[in-house]
Structure 1
Amino acid sequence: MSKVITLANQKGGTGKTTTAVNLGIGLAAQGNKVLLVDADAQGNLTDSLGYQEPDNLPVSLATIMTKTIMEEPYESDEGILHHAEGVDLMPGNIELSAIEVSLVNTMSRETVLRSYINSVKDKYDYVLIDCMPSLGMMTINALATADSVIIPVQAHYLPAKGMTQLLQTIARVRRQINPRLTIDGVLLTMVDNRTNFAKDISFVLRRDYGDKLRIFQTEIPLSIRAAETSAQGKSIYAFDPHGIAARAYEAFTKEVLDIGEKQHKRQHQTNLSR
């Protein structure tokens, strides 16, 4: 059974794309088939996987979404790229900016992305969608498509205000469009363990949200090596396999797998009891 996870935070610079890459490749290393979807017009995920000129790619997510809107046919594997570390990628680029605008006047505008993902997800165990840092139509589409959300939060500032806005949007999408949407958890990223400030933020986040949300046990440390990986088109596992960031992403991947297994068991028991 395929699970679709959206990585979302309307604030930029929270390590969302780095998390998408390393979680995706971490899941693939555990024997899962993984599709990464770049739903950000900046194309950072595409760039991070070594496709350094996303705007020159002949087919991208924008191409497929345009075909979906126009009700034109497309092949289920059209535009999908294969990365050396075992994941597939549906690339994103600047053309998504135009899609964002055209969605406003589109019928069933919140579910265009869902229509595409539903046509490919059966080939994969996990589909990870990397969102743009906004709460615009593309992010709403990603939330409408997902089974769950992971929220990366940078440990450099108190995220309460931005978090509240994001949680309200998720709740609205759940009520109006996608009742099965859940929050897998909040992931603290760029944690500088040398400072009390990072520890304070971790404490405040767990205190204020810990009863409502899972705060992942794993915290992603601030790592120059991790920042350098995106320029190399590789994951942290290939670039610095024994470093602190690689170990942290490995532990985080295990947490995500555990959630998936528990949800799968619950679903199985629900089906048996019907």
Structure 2
Amino acid sequence: MSDRTASSNGTPTSEDKRRAALLRSVPEADDTTPLAAQLAEDARRRIRLQGARFAKPVSTRVFTIANQKGGVGKTTTTVNVAAALAQGGLNVLVIDNDPQGNASTALGIDHHAGVPSTYDVVINGTPIQEVVQGCEAVAGLLVVPATIDLSGAEIELVSMVARENRLHNALDAYLSWRADQGLPRIDYVLIDCPPSLGLLTINAFVAAREVMIPIQCEYYALEGLSQLLNNIELIRGHLNPDLHVSTILLTMFDRRTNLAREVADEVREHFPDQTLAATIPRSVRISEAPSYGQTVLTYDAGSSGALAYMEAAQEIAERADKLNDVTSAAAAEEEN
């Protein structure tokens, strides 16, 4: 279980009973009163998610958040999933690999010109520990910021030796350094990418084992997705055989429209194992938060958008928890 409030023998604790009683107290509502139904569902989610603690994965999970189509919520997903995982008690590192630096802005991280950044890591070989900054608003969340210098990195990388592996090597060195220093292990690394397949994005794909794809619930949702999957296969074949699409998150979902439901159904039909049950709604709060240098979880923790990202993070952690159980069972079987 990802919420560790249950007792070890499966017997409901007093906290479990309290939550169950609160859930029963929320009035039922149906689609004939959509606003009341949404308010009731949000109330249930607040009760379920309050104080939730997520299970740590067996080893560090490294995600690249990618989609070649712009405006689908890559950066928004990166920062809010990262914040949700950190609020769930995990140690999280965000690497802003997009020259626009929007992830750094949303996390309230200083990233003006001259600040040590991803550019220094990839181009100059600066160790990540000399670049990383802590997010003041969210405990357990670290950030490697992006500055405007990163916009020239694509050209500079062309002539470099092992140009596709520079971020991978830097990340491995950083994780090893933390272990040597006796620092807590990083549980999740999330790498935000630009909306193009250049050397920066290739570096992110080589550094990661998993790809998370945010898909907008609109007409052009699947446009370009087949090309992205082809590119991932090329990376697997030539540079990173462990890379795979593990997670698809539906964003900008409006359950009131037939189109959004049809797109969601189509994505789930094609990618049943990868698509999360949680969906991210269209939300003014999600859009407003970055202008205040915040994630939606710190800007308005009770909003529908914040609750949706908490649910998505919980589901990601629960999938790792199930994988942990399968791995442990397999290891025990081998020993016997």
When Rg is computed on C-alpha atoms for both structures, the one with the higher figure is 2
Match of 1:157 among 215, 219, 224: 219
- Deviation, 1:268, is 4.5
Given that 2:215 and 2:222 are in contact with CA atoms closer than 8 Å, whether structure 1 keeps it comes out as: no
Match of 1:230 among 290, 298, 318: 290
Residue aligning to 1:210: 271
1:79-98 matches, within 5 Å, as 79-84=131-136, 85-86=138-139, 87-98=141-152
Given that 2:121 and 2:127 are in contact with CA atoms closer than 8 Å, whether structure 1 keeps it comes out as: no
Residue aligning to 2:263: 201
- Deviation, 1:237, is 1.6
Residue aligning to 1:61: 118
Residues 167 and 101 of structure 1, relative CA distance in 2, 3 Å threshold: same
Residue aligning to 2:192: 130
- Counterpart AA for 2:234: R
CA distance in 1, matches of 2:78, 2:103: 8
Q: Does 1:100 align with 2:154?
A: yes
SS of residue matched to 1:185:
strand
Given that 1:121 and 1:127 are in contact with CA atoms closer than 8 Å, whether structure 2 keeps it comes out as: no
- Counterpart AA for 2:222: A
Given that 1:42 and 1:93 are in contact with CA atoms closer than 8 Å, whether structure 2 keeps it comes out as: yes
Structure 2: tracts of 5 or more residues without a match: 1-58, 177-184
Residue aligning to 1:71: none
Q: Does 1:77 align with 2:132?
A: no
What percentage of residue pairs aligned between the two structures are identical?
34
Given that 2:100 and 2:148 are in contact with CA atoms closer than 8 Å, whether structure 1 keeps it comes out as: yes
User: TM-score, structure 2 length as denominator?
Assistant: 0.75
- Counterpart AA for 1:120: Y
- Number of aligned residues: 266
CA distance in 2, matches of 1:94, 1:242: 34
Residue aligning to 1:30: 88
Residues 57 and 156 of structure 1, relative CA distance in 2, 3 Å threshold: farther
Q: Does 1:220 align with 2:280?
A: yes
SS of residue matched to 1:242:
coil
- Counterpart AA for 2:71: G
Given that 2:128 and 2:171 are in contact with CA atoms closer than 8 Å, whether structure 1 keeps it comes out as: no
> For 1:32-69, what per-residue CA distance to the aligned partner results, in whole angstroms no more than 9, with x for missing partners?
111100000111101111246x332420010121222x
CA distance in 2, matches of 1:268, 1:146: 23
- Counterpart AA for 1:35: L
CA distance in 2, matches of 1:56, 1:144: 27
1:8-47 matches, within 5 Å, as 8-47=66-105
Structure 1: tracts of 5 or more residues without a match: 69-73
User: TM-score, structure 1 length as denominator?
Assistant: 0.91
- Counterpart AA for 1:188: L
CA distance in 2, matches of 1:244, 1:61: 32
Q: Does 1:178 align with 2:240?
A: yes
Given that 1:158 and 1:201 are in contact with CA atoms closer than 8 Å, whether structure 2 keeps it comes out as: no
CA distance in 2, matches of 1:185, 1:232: 28
Given that 2:67 and 2:214 are in contact with CA atoms closer than 8 Å, whether structure 1 keeps it comes out as: yes
- Deviation, 1:163, is 0.5
Q: CA RMSD in A?
A: 1.8
- Counterpart AA for 1:223: S
- Deviation, 1:25, is 0.9
SS of residue matched to 1:161:
coil
- Counterpart AA for 1:242: G
- Deviation, 1:151, is 0.1
CA distance in 1, matches of 2:175, 2:84: 18
Residues 57 and 49 of structure 1, relative CA distance in 2, 3 Å threshold: farther
